[in-house]
Structure 1
Amino acid sequence: MGNKNHSLSYTICSNTYALLPYNDGRRTWTRVIEDRSEFLVEESTYKTVTSSCSFYRGSMESATLYAQKAVRVKHKPPIIIGEYYGNPLIFFPTHSPKNKDAVWFNFDAVDLVESDDSGRGGSIVYLSNGETVHLDVSPIALRNQHSFAGSLRRYFKRAQEMHKHQMTYVAKRTYPPRTQYPLD
């Protein structure tokens, strides 16, 4: 890891690419990979995700329910952490969200998922910043997770467009002029 700095907590943002569990021998922390940096956070990946949902005025529970409705995936659905300038901040887990081994990826930061043919098995995830993450997870499972995250984005964008269209319709409705009453 290039940067040995660490912090007590962290809020996910658009330049967060991945959250990985990091065990220091005594407890599990979070290794954060951003577009241009990498560091440790003294909390679990699950805590980082749930506190980030709260920061954006949501909850892990509501984000999970929304995703389950949108993409009809009950087990480890992708979630929208928050909205960043009108764009959903979508992350997907590699395992059940509460699992201490769960890695979380930013949908927009994943360039490619391929098989790890080096003899270790599992997958290699290529991130937009040139970093690679080796995981003991099936590449098919990771591609499915990434695909579900794409479906969640499309669902969100359609709902956003419908809402914008409805607001435009309401703004364009004409109302009868107000009746002026003479002052007595």
Structure 2
Amino acid sequence: MGRKIYNPFSYTVCNTTYALIPHIDGSRLVTRVLEDRSEFLIEQTAYKTITGSCSFYRGSLESATLYAQKAVGVKHKPPIIIGEYYGNPLIFFPTHSPKNKESVWFNYDAIDLIESDDRGGSVVYLGNGQSVCLDVSAIALRNQHSFAGSLRRYFKKAQNQHRQQLTYVTKRPMPIRPRHPSD
């Protein structure tokens, strides 16, 4: 394959991370990272990369999963918000169960199109012009992508409500207390 191993033991996803793809390198399972303008291998599983990234952004995979389950009502393979990146949620979703070593993780914002292929699998077209072929049905992937969109809307709505509450609190006049003669 000829790809260089980059940061062999750690990698943190960000908004330019498009996909984390399990890859067999000899006898080792590594992760192929597709970014906006680069591609490389790292020596940790996609699952470890996701859990480490959640920790980096001051959260956990468990809490992100619970939030997503509450937000969109999906119990199996829910999309997750790994962190907030300049006010926008960094949403990834798995193609299989999160702990499954074959699970590919996609950045919701990186996907342009999901099409069926002629073998019953799918082709995922990314915003950087790359495509990823998978043995997962296009219908299942479109559902995952749709759930991720619902999670984004839920997050943005909650974010706007929070902003409105802050605006109300900061603009509300403070009550004037009458001065007491002993003051």
Normalised by the length of structure 1, the TM-score is 0.93
Q: Equivalences for 1:23-102 in 2 at 5 Å? A: 23-102=24-103
Deviations 1:47-80 (A, max 9, x none): 0000000000000000000000000000000000
Indicate whether 1:121 and 2:120 are aligned: yes
Structure 1 residue 21 displacement after superposition? 0.2
Structure 2: runs of 5 or more not aligned: none
Structure 1 residue 121 displacement after superposition? 3.3
Q: Which residue of 2 aligns with 1:153?
A: 152
Indicate whether 1:106 and 2:113 are aligned: no
8 Å contact from structure 2 (residues 18, 36) kept in 1: yes
8 Å contact from structure 1 (residues 93, 102) kept in 2: yes
C-alpha distance in structure 1 between counterparts of 2:6 and 2:53, whole Å: 17
C-alpha distance in structure 1 between counterparts of 2:30 and 2:6, whole Å: 10
Give the percent of matched residue pairs that are identical in Structure 1 and Structure 2.
74
8 Å contact from structure 1 (residues 2, 38) kept in 2: no
Deviations 1:115-138 (A, max 9, x none): 112xx4310000000000000000
SS of 1:121's partner is: coil
* Aligned-residue CA RMSD (Å): 1.8
Deviations 1:66-99 (A, max 9, x none): 0000000000000000000000000010000000
8 Å contact from structure 1 (residues 77, 92) kept in 2: yes
Going from structure 1 to structure 2, the CA distance change for 1:129 and 1:71 (only over 3 Å counts) comes to same
Structure 1 residue 173 displacement after superposition? 1.4
C-alpha distance in structure 1 between counterparts of 2:179 and 2:101, whole Å: 68
Indicate whether 1:17 and 2:18 are aligned: yes
Structure 1 residue 178 displacement after superposition? 6.1
Provide the aligned length of Structure 1 versus Structure 2: 182
Normalised by the length of structure 2, the TM-score is 0.94
Q: Which residue of 2 aligns with 1:7?
A: 7
SS of 1:164's partner is: helix
SS of 1:7's partner is: coil
**Structure 1 outlier segments of 4+, above 4 Å:** 178-184
User: What residue identity is the alignment partner of 2:34?
Assistant: I
Structure 1 residue 146 displacement after superposition? 0.2
Structure 1 residue 172 displacement after superposition? 1.2
Structure 1: runs of 5 or more not aligned: none
Structure 1 residue 180 displacement after superposition? 6.6
Going from structure 1 to structure 2, the CA distance change for 1:140 and 1:54 (only over 3 Å counts) comes to same
SS of 2:69's partner is: helix
